[in-house]
Amino acid sequence: MQEGAMEQGSTPGLSRGLLSRHIVMMSLGGVIGAGMFLGSGSTIHLAGPAVVVDYLVGGILLLFVLFALAEMSIHKPVAGSFLVYVRQYVGPMFGYLAGWLYWFCWVLVLAAECTAGATFLHFWLQGVPLWVLSLIISLALTIVNLFQVRAYGEFEFWFAGIKIVTIILFSLLGFLLLVGAVPGHPAIGFGNLTARGGFFPTGFSGLAGALLVVMFSYGGSEMIGLTAAETRDPGRTIPRAMVGVVWRTVLFYVLPLLVIVALVPWTTVGTGESPFVMVFRQVGVPFVDHVMNFVVLTAVLSSMNSGMYAVSRMLYSLGQQGYAPGWLMKLSGRRVPIRALLASTIFLWIGVGIAYEWPDQVFNYLMSIPGFSFLFVWLLILVAHVGFHRRVPKAELEKLPFHAWGYPVSTGLGILMLAVIIGLIMMSAEQRLGIWTSLGAMAVMFVGYGFVRRESRREVRP
């Protein structure tokens, strides 16, 4: 197909039913999971109040990546998004690696979230085995993903909205506590931000250690690029959605964490009780354990729901590019890649089985892969953006309705930031397992590329 200034043709068969509000909430649903409510204490423990700086730095990097992805998505709105762009502007081998690595990482994350979701359900259904609850969760979300894409987007919009409302209420209640607007509670003020060692109590090492966790938290936001082939008017919708995702993601992480470190001495926040539970209990929210269990459960299910969309569309695109069997491109009557979805669900079940059978011996090793690998995919997106600007005629670029802000400085700075973060990971003894496991997974994928190289040379469908 001849590329124009902006290709409006969608991937054959996929339905353009997603609106801007759908894809914003789908991306937020994938980014804000249980870790926001349960794992935020670990980043505070590492960096103290300065953790908000890490989230702001991560937000700047996220801005560079998503704007680069937006510009390429508008020019060529196809299923698979960055898989196609990396293949075209970096090289077929790296396109293969980006696609399979992203799919594999999301399957692992889905398996972890499925087991976590079963644990939260078990809080109320203690007589039901965990594996049965995991099966119910995975089947329910598979059925949701079989809906026509607009119905799916509407479902995720309201589903993800539960945790967004919780974060807003938490931030509001926390602010009222800080200024003394809650009856019976004197004003706490903002002294905790600088007490006990100052704003940067653990120094650069703590800031760097927390940054690695923060970057993993932001992983999944690039999923918004996968929606380009199913979005109405991508030239207008994608840029608006990208901007919305960036500022909402940063805001919904920074605000509650700022409230936490202002309300509670950072030295008392560890990896035990959720900071959200601590604050809600302080305000006197009734049945706080049940309320937070419900919120965290919906956060996990919403994240899983977005992840199921991501793995099905990525596997579908891998089939299109000749990197996976062609039968995966089969669409249902609702124009959903049903075989890619069901195949991904089967591998999700395998992952859940491994998580229950060999949690320490195998699954923990596998779960060290996504953090490093998501950063590697971001790096490939930015490198592809450089190739995009070099290979697409300037006249075509000028006709695009959206341009990545500050290119080439923004993309170059993003590559530099990622290189520094990856370097910090390599120097971290705690992250060494993740590095070697990720490199091992990449080596296996490189071997697999040798078997599909001839097939990948077939004519790629637009």
Task: Name the least confident of 5-14, 152-161, 208-217, 261-270.
Answer: 5-14
Domain residues of the chain, as ranges?
20-450
| Residue matched to tokens 């599909």 | 452
Q: Which residues contact 141 (CB under 8 A, 6 or more apart)?
A: 301, 304, 305, 308
Helices (H) and strands (E) in the chain, counts: 18, 0
The torsion angles phi and psi of 8, rounded to 5 degrees, stand at -95, -15
151-199 residue pLDDT tens: 888 888 888 888 888 888 888 888 888 888 878 778 888 888 888 888 9
Q: Please give the average per-residue pLDDT across 441-461, as a whole number.
A: 72
Q: Which residues contact 175 (CB under 8 A, 6 or more apart)?
A: 259
More confident residue, 414 or 182: 414
| Residue 137, pLDDT score | 92
**381, two tokens:** 């997106």
428 vs 412: CA distance, rounded Å: 25
Q: How many CA atoms lie within 13 A of 318 on its CB side?
A: 28
Whether 402 and 239 have beta carbons less than 8 Å apart is answered as yes
Measured CA distances, 295 to 90, 166, 249, 250, 276 (Å): 41, 7, 18, 20, 11
Q: Please give the average per-residue pLDDT across 421-431, as a whole number.
A: 78
Highest mean pLDDT among 210-219, 319-328, 368-377, 450-459: 319-328
| Residue 61, pLDDT score | 93
Measured CA distances, 148 to 60, 245, 329, 338 (Å): 34, 23, 16, 11
Distance linking the first and last C-alpha atoms of the chain: 6
E strands, 58-129, in order? none
Mean pLDDT of the chain: 84
More confident residue, 415 or 29: 415
| Residue 22, pLDDT score | 86
17 vs 148: CA distance, rounded Å: 8
Class of domain 20-450: mainly alpha
117 vs 293: CA distance, rounded Å: 10
